[in-house]
Amino acid sequence: MDVLELARLQFAVTGSLHFLFVVLTLGLAPLVAIMHTRWALSGRPLQERMTRFWGQIYVINYALGIVTGLVMEFQFGLSWSGLTHYAGDVFGAPLAMEALVAFFLESTFLGLWIFGWGRLPKWAHLACIWLVTATAYASAFFIMVANSFLQNPAGAVLSGGRLELTDFGALLTNEALVFSFPHVLGAGLFTGAMVLVGASAYQLRRRTADVEFFTRSLRIGVVTASIGIFLTMGFGYAQFAGVQEGKFQSGTPGLIPLGFMTEGGNLLALVVLFFMLPLIAVLPRWRWTHPILIALTPVPFVMAILGWLARELGRQPWMIWEKLTVADAMSPQLTAGMVTASTIGFVAVLGMLAIVDYVLIARVIKRGPDDVALGAAAEQRSPALSY
């Protein structure tokens, strides 16, 4: 492999590993916020336990996932300085907004939510998790703004050999963004919900004592997953119109089959979930369905990666569609040895974080809701300080 192929491989592998964390974060955040809302309104201990348990899984995934995002930032400076020079004034703006939202606002509100149990007023504490969700979605929005600019460079003109932003509104209403952003949000809901489904089915199959807890979680997961996969498929197929028109996708061999394979997998999951929806009342008691639901848990992660491959391969050989090639976007001083060494380092770090993430999540799921660190300190304080 030459240096360009190595650089592309590096970004593909690290980007895919990072997105595994992102898609789960986008799915779990609103589910945890809804659970917390139901607890704040009802005051039921069961709703509190659900909020703490699934919130613990969210916190683990977020804490490790945010580190993987730093690696993505390093790669732009290390391997793609040509992109920064040519379009940094445009492409860098949404990335900077994402950094402000994700690394500052989202982290701040999440910290307040984590350490606010029993300390913050009830509604202020609830507001924190909804602000976490809002900033997570805002972060995804700005990332998709940047990516959509690569697909369709709207709102910018060439001046002095560099792209300059002339219409910020066009950047935010890019035709490549209109369908792709809801598509990603739907994929996130599908992923987060299937984690609820798989974990709940695992516990119910083990004949857990927390039958009501995981029965409710399973039902929430199946309904949410059905909504998420429906949105994913709808907006996913809508993006094929752009492929046919050739506005922001090329005819890279294999793109269309890969895209339809991805949507075909989504369709299969949709059929399975909708088949189970009418049976949701008895589903938790049917142990033969539990292995099926557990086996479906990794499906959204696989589909998410295949979807990104379809989107990114469709732009080749362009980094910015019909403006800048991938070869010209690469840093000129790179050598194959440099890229190989950095790839080994990046993949080792991200791979380790991914393994640690899923091991920790698996341990939390296996232990169940009675041994959760999130909010545990609040139980030791005076009842007058908690709610």
Question: Can you say how many angstroms the Cα of residue 193 is from the centroid of all Cα atoms in its chain?
Answer: 12
Distance CA 358, CA 64 (A): 10
- Model pLDDT for residues 191-222, shown as the tens digit of each residue: 999 999 999 999 998 888 888 999 999 989 98
Which segments within the chain are labelled E, that is strand? 156-159, 162-165, 318-320, 324-325
User: Do residues 203 and 210 make contact, with C-beta atoms less than 8 angstroms apart?
Assistant: yes
Would residue 58 count as lying in a domain?
yes
Closest CA to 49 of 39, 34, 37: 39
pLDDT at residue 369, as a whole number: 92
Give the separation between CA 247 and CA 137, rounded to whole angstroms.
26
Q: 131, 134, 122: which is closest to 41 by C-alpha?
A: 122
* Residue matched to tokens 């590096």: 10
| 153 prior amide bond cis, ω within 30 | no
Q: For residue 195, what are its two tokens?
A: 């984690």
Answer yes or no: is 107 within a domain: yes
**Any idea which residue has 């989202």 for tokens?**
106
The whole-number pLDDT of residue 254 equals: 60
- Domain membership of residue 382 (yes or no) is no
Instruction: Kindly state the tokens that stand for 42.
Output: 């009802």
Distance (Å, rounded) from C-alpha 307 to C-alpha 282?
A: 33
Q: CB-based burial of residue 106 (10 Å sphere; 0-12 exposed, 13-18 middle, 19+ buried)?
A: buried
* 78 touches 14 (CB < 8 A): no
Tokens of 292: 């099926």
Whole-number mean pLDDT of the chain? Answer: 85
Place of tokens 């909504």: 227
Does residue 385 lie in a domain region? no
Domain tally, the chain: 1
Please report, as a single letter, which amino acid is at residue 64.
Answer: L
Does residue 281 sit within a domain?
A: yes
**pLDDT confidence of residue 379:** 59
**30: in domain:** yes
pTM for this prediction? 0.88
Within a domain: 348:
yes
Structural domain span for residue 126: 3-375
Residue 250: the pLDDT is: 47
Residues of the chain with pLDDT under 50: 244, 247-253, 381-387
Q: What does the block give as tokens for 112? A: 């307040």
Please give the share of the chain, as a percent, with pLDDT higher than 90: 51
- Amino acid identity of residue 264, one-letter, is G
Q: CB within 8 A of 189, min separation 6: which ones?
A: 26, 27, 30, 224, 225, 227, 228, 231
In a domain, 387, yes or no: no
